[in-house]
Amino acid sequence: MGRVAALLVVALALLRGAALAVLVPPYQAPDEPAHFDYVQHLAESGRMADGGEDCAQLSAEGMALLSVMQPLFADRGRPVPPAGEFLPPAPTPEARSTRLCSSAARYPPVYYLTAAAAYRAARGAPFLHRLLAARLVSVAWGALGAGAAFLLGLWLLGGWRGGLLTGLAYALQPMQALMFSSVNNDAALFSLSTVGFAAAAALRAVPGARAPLTALAAAALLGSLSKPTFLLLTPALLVAVAAALGPARPASWIRGALALLPAAAGLAWTLSRNPGGASSHPSAAGPGLVDFASRLALSPARLEELWLRQYWASWGWHETRLPIHYYRVVEILVGLALVGAVLGWRHLSSAERGLVAVSAAATVAALVPIHVFEYGFHRSSGGLLLQGRYLLPMFALHAAALATALRGLGRRLRAPGDGGFALPALLGVLLAAISLHALVRYYA
């Protein structure tokens, strides 16, 4: 039954990703023009990015598509233009050539290598087909992440039902669904981070096994070579590994640090090739800590924007968000999970309590470097970069903890069934609603 459940999760991730890859209009996902510019440059020239100054210049094909799709950004009532309005230039080498001076040029190559391979396979196809081929690579990354989420639930929540719960939640999470169906290196970041947390869960399930540490080291290396912000998550991974091996043992922290060392090596390689790519170096003349704190201003409205909308469901360049009552239902479910963690604490096993505690500690361990990075960016640029999706690489762990807390509440109330499945059920409703909302927004 476990294999059937795992196949169901992976199949759902593939079908959901393929459907959204076709549904979401080209260049409407976050930063997709810049990311596809990198893919096209790598596939056409065979050369990786070498840094350089940012600019908005894409290939002639990319600029032609952008000129057609640009009006959607400003006109909230405008549907997707008819296909006949997009008249790409002749598919000559010149039309496909790109300067690669977009905002994605600073990133390392792992994600772009996989997307470029798909682009090369479709090289003789029209421009939009090549874009779709690159999007389907993100779909494959999402399927890998869903499989890892299944394994995490299998080992942390006990058996295939736990794996099915976390796998379904992962496949149905709306914000991840968008990133796993568009051209964006977050797809690899989310997936490889999930592999890392699944490896930590395996360390707890199979004490003494070397394969999980090897998988963690590989995920750390590839993750850091997919997006440098993977390094912000390494403290959270270290907490998860040390908790699995025994937090009271110094050797656990040492083994975890050694397994994550390849992530630092990957980041060092990235910075050595593109020393100007890190925009978070503080400037002596930049805004100070007081100014940063006043601008950060985590008021209820800003908290709702960052950690509710941008974590759960905030789609695309244009306004395709759901009505606020959908987000209120998410708030209620998370609130019930918090209540369940308190009132149902005695009804949880020691392992379940440990899972909730480790999830909370790992989240704090990630939030600290994220805010330090944000402060550095503020010092250098005067702006703010923080987004709720910075925590999405931890979603599988969060889903397992939320499900556990909901189970505790269900046991406290002596409710029938597994209360944890309320999470994937709600996410399925959200994903269906936001997909229909996007259909109306873009195509009505």
Q: In b/e form, how buried is each residue of 407-424, taking b as 16+ CB within 10 angstroms? A: bbbbbbeeeeeebbbbbb
- At position 327, the amino acid (one-letter code) is Y
Six token digits for residue 285: 């003349």
- Is there a domain that residue 167 lies in? yes
Q: Supply the Cα-derived Rg of the chain in whole angstroms.
A: 22
- Is there a domain that residue 86 lies in? no
* pLDDT the model gives residue 274: 66
- Is there a domain that residue 47 lies in? no
Higher pLDDT, 272 or 240: 240
* pLDDT the model gives residue 299: 72
pLDDT by residue (tens digit) across 178-214? 999 999 999 999 999 999 999 999 988 776 678 899 9
The neighbour count for residue 117, using CB atoms within 10 Å, is 15
* pLDDT the model gives residue 131: 95
**Count of domains in the chain?**
1
* pLDDT the model gives residue 56: 64
Domain carrying residue 413: 2-29+142-443
The alpha helices in 299-386, defined as continuous H runs, are 300-304, 310-312, 324-343, 350-381
Mean pLDDT of the chain: 86
Q: Among candidates 99, 49, 37, which has minimal Cα distance to 277?
A: 49
Give the whole-angstrom CA distance, residue 112 versus residue 237. Answer: 24
Q: In b/e form, how buried is each residue of 38-65, taking b as 16+ CB within 10 angstroms? A: bbbbbbbeeebbeeeeeeeebbbbbbbb
Contact (CB, 8 A) for 175 and 312: yes
251-263: average pLDDT: 86
Question: Is residue 312 pLDDT above 70, yes or no?
Answer: yes
- At position 417, the amino acid (one-letter code) is G
Q: At what angle are helices 422-443 and 159-172 packed, to 10 degrees?
A: 20
Of the listed ranges 259-268, 293-302, 335-344, 356-365, the least confidently predicted one is 293-302
pLDDT by residue (tens digit) across 3-21? 899 999 999 999 999 999 9
pLDDT by residue (tens digit) across 377-403? 767 777 777 788 899 999 999 999 999
Q: What count of residues does the chain have? A: 444
- Is there a domain that residue 37 lies in? no
Higher pLDDT, 11 or 323: 11
Give one DSSP letter per residue of 109-134, joined into a string.
SHHHHHHHHHHHHTTTS-HHHHHHHH
Give the whole-angstrom CA distance, residue 182 versus residue 87. Answer: 22
Give the whole-angstrom CA distance, residue 102 versus residue 431. Answer: 31
Dihedral sign, Cα of residue 199, residue 204, residue 206, residue 211: positive
* Helices (runs of H) and strands (runs of E) counted in the chain: 20, 0
Place of tokens 């000129």: 67
| 410-415: long-range pairs with CB below 8 Å, 24+ | 410/340, 410/344, 411/344, 411/347, 411/348, 412/340, 412/343, 412/344, 412/347
- Is there a domain that residue 7 lies in? yes
- At position 305, the amino acid (one-letter code) is E
Question: Is residue 356 pLDDT above 60, yes or no?
Answer: yes
- Is there a domain that residue 121 lies in? no
* pLDDT the model gives residue 357: 94
* pLDDT the model gives residue 282: 43
pLDDT by residue (tens digit) across 12-60? 999 999 999 998 888 888 889 999 999 999 999 888 776 555 666 788 8
Give the whole-angstrom CA distance, residue 192 versus residue 148. Answer: 9
Give the whole-angstrom CA distance, residue 116 versus residue 130. Answer: 10
Three-state SS at 207: coil
Place of tokens 């459907």: 19
User: In whole angstroms, what separates CA 384 from the centre of its chain?
Assistant: 19
Give the whole-angstrom CA distance, residue 139 versus residue 236. Answer: 26
pLDDT by residue (tens digit) across 59-74? 888 888 888 887 777 6
- Is there a domain that residue 174 lies in? yes
Give the whole-angstrom CA distance, residue 400 versus residue 150. Answer: 10
- Is there a domain that residue 375 lies in? yes
Give the whole-angstrom CA distance, residue 164 versus residue 423. Answer: 12
